[in-house]
Amino acid sequence: MDREFLTDLFADFGPVTIRKMFSGYGISADGINFALSLRAGLFFRADEVTIPDFEAEGSKPFQYSTRAKIVVVNSYWELPARLFDDSAELAQWARAALAAAQRAKAKTRPKKKAAAKKATRKAVPKKRLAKKAAKRKVR
């Protein structure tokens, strides 16, 4: 799938941003990625609310192979093929996928410890420089 096809596909949904990602494209709206277009197909973001809809359609979660194992990514599920011919219903599924992505984003909180470590890291080099300068003055 190319950019032009994806733009047309999501026309009833509304404006989307399409960026190169992995072997295909990441599709986002309002700055939130809700779909992946890869060689293996088109995958929408899913969660405990929307996964039953995908299962009812016979869809499967995104998966890929490494040298050691097959990795299953339950947060993205393959879009049912019949939706490629029904742009209005595809738009409904896209809205549900965007809602799932928004719920997932709301669950993740900024990590305070990581931010504190970054602040500490920035301060450490300044202290070291000050110590080195003080030692030079003593000599």
pLDDT tens track for 3-37: 889 989 999 999 999 999 878 999 999 999 999 99
pTM of the model: 0.74
- Kindly state the helix (H) or strand (E) to which residue 35 belongs, with its residue range: strand 32-38
Domain ranges of the chain: 3-108, 111-139
**What architecture does CATH give domain 3-108?**
2-Layer Sandwich (3.30)
Residue among 29, 23, 31 nearest 11 (CA): 29
